[in-house]
């Protein structure tokens, strides 16, 4: 008998109780944890005494782990671990201005590796060093967002395909909120500035069926969202297509689909990256924050890579 219990969080996800990462895990408990992950899209575990080795072993319950596609991003001792750090030497590249205030590491709503057409299946974040204030991570349920659409919109987007374009300069992102935004003096301009290659555009149906649960997922995340592919096929002019994407992005921003987590030491969060988008609010310059991330491999291709002729 397992003693695991769960309590839904605001709008999305659940907090898991009665779980200790240092207790041996039975197959029944692993099955139960996996079922909870799919049911709630995001799980929060508090007060866990974790180190990188334990985090990696725990993450493997949910599937094979993925190394970050870029060697520059991997942690030396544990290549399965990805360190997200604020308050370190990378700050100057991650600093931008919002309403005149400098912010480090703010990221718009996104899904990890979405720009590759093969997003990872999920990820686990662990708070190693907690920022004294700010630094929240937001999660948004795109299954719930789809369900909340009106029937006309659901019918309209059934034939729509959307393209995503990987850029590193936020001003080139067409659907993020740029009001009051100024890049920092060291903000990267092109992918090679931070050791990234150029990626061809990726395209997804506006509604993707979740590979495991079969749920309809509204595949609209504002970061990198670029355009509707061949809008005339869906009976739309390019202007109408842009207006539709703006309306869908506004819809995904509705707070009833969101949960924002304020980190405490020992917190661990696991989310389903095929269903849940996430964002970070960032921190003030000089504030220390360290998160360790492990990544569950994406073993399904949800989108397609567009040929270079359509990526220009
Ligand atoms: Fe991310």
Predicted pLDDT at 75: 62
Cα-to-centroid distance, 114 and ligand 1 (Å): 10
CB 143 within 8 A of CB 226: no
Number of Cβ within a 10 Å radius of residue 238: 11
Cα-to-centroid distance, 111 and ligand 1 (Å): 6
In this structure, the strands spanning 101-104 and 107-110 are: unpaired
Cα-to-centroid distance, 293 and ligand 1 (Å): 10
Summarised one tens digit per residue, pLDDT across range 147-195 is 999 999 999 999 999 999 999 999 999 999 999 999 999 999 999 888 8
Cα-to-centroid distance, 112 and ligand 1 (Å): 5
Every domain of the chain and the residues it spans: 5-299
Question: Would you state the structure tokens that stand for residue 34, as one six-digit string?
Answer: 């996996």
CB 160 within 8 A of CB 205: yes
H-helix segments, the chain: 27-40, 52-59, 91-94, 142-147, 151-157, 238-252
Residue 33: which region, alpha, beta or left (left: phi > 0; alpha: psi -120 to 50)?
alpha
Is the model's pTM score more than 0.85?
yes
Cα-to-centroid distance, 183 and ligand 1 (Å): 19
Cα-to-centroid distance, 113 and ligand 1 (Å): 8
CB 22 within 8 A of CB 54: yes
Could you write out the three-class secondary structure of 133-202? CCCCEEEEEHHHHHHCCCHHHHHHHCCCEEEECCCCCHHHCCCCCCCCEEECCCCCCCHHHHCCCCCCCE
Cα-to-centroid distance, 220 and ligand 1 (Å): 15
Predicted pLDDT at 1: 45
Cα-to-centroid distance, 232 and ligand 1 (Å): 32
Cα-to-centroid distance, 110 and ligand 1 (Å): 6
Q: Is 54 helix (H, G, I), strand (E, B) or coil?
A: helix
CB 138 within 8 A of CB 281: yes
Summarised one tens digit per residue, pLDDT across range 56-70 is 999 999 999 998 666
Summarised one tens digit per residue, pLDDT across range 86-116 is 998 889 999 999 999 999 999 999 999 999 9
Cα-to-centroid distance, 120 and ligand 1 (Å): 10
- CATH architecture, range 5-299: 4-Layer Sandwich (3.60)
């Amino acid at each position: 008998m397992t003693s695991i219990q769960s309590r839904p969080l605001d709008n999305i996800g659940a907090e898991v109780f009665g779980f200790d990462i240092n207790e041996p895990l039975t197959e029944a408990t692993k099955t139960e944890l996996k079922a909870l992950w799919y049911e709630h899209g995001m799980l929060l575990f508090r007060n866990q005494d974790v180190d990188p080795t334990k985090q990696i072993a725990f993450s493997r319950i949910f599937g094979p782990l993925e190394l970050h596609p870029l060697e520059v991003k991997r942690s030396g001792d544990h290549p399965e671990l990805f360190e997200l750090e604020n308050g370190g030497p990378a700050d100057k590249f991650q600093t931008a201005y919002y309403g005149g205030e400098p912010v480090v590491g703010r990221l718009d709503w996104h899904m990890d590796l979405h720009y590759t057409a093969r997003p990872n299946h999920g990820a686990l974040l662990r708070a190693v060093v907690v920022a004294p204030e700010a630094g929240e991570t937001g999660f948004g349920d795109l299954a719930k967002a789809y369900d909340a659409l009106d029937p006309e919109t659901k019918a309209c987007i059934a034939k729509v395909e959307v393209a995503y374009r990987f850029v590193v300069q936020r001003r080139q992102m067409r659907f993020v909120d740029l009001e009051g935004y100024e890049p920092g003096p060291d903000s990267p301009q092109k992918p090679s500035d931070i050791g990234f290659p150029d990626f061809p555009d990726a395209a997804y149906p506006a509604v993707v069926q979740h590979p495991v649960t079969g749920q309809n997922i509204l595949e609209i995340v504002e970061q990198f969202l670029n355009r509707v592919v061949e809008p005339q096929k869906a009976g739309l002019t390019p202007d109408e297509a842009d207006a539709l994407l703006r309306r869908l992005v506004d819809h995904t921003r509705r707070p009833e689909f969101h949960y924002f987590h304020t980190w405490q030491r020992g917190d661990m969060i696991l989310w389903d990256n095929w269903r849940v988008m996430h964002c970070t609010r960032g921190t003030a310059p000089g504030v220390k924050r360290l998160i360790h991330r492990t990544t569950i491999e994406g073993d399904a291709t949800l989108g397609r890579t567009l040929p270079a002729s359509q990526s220009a």
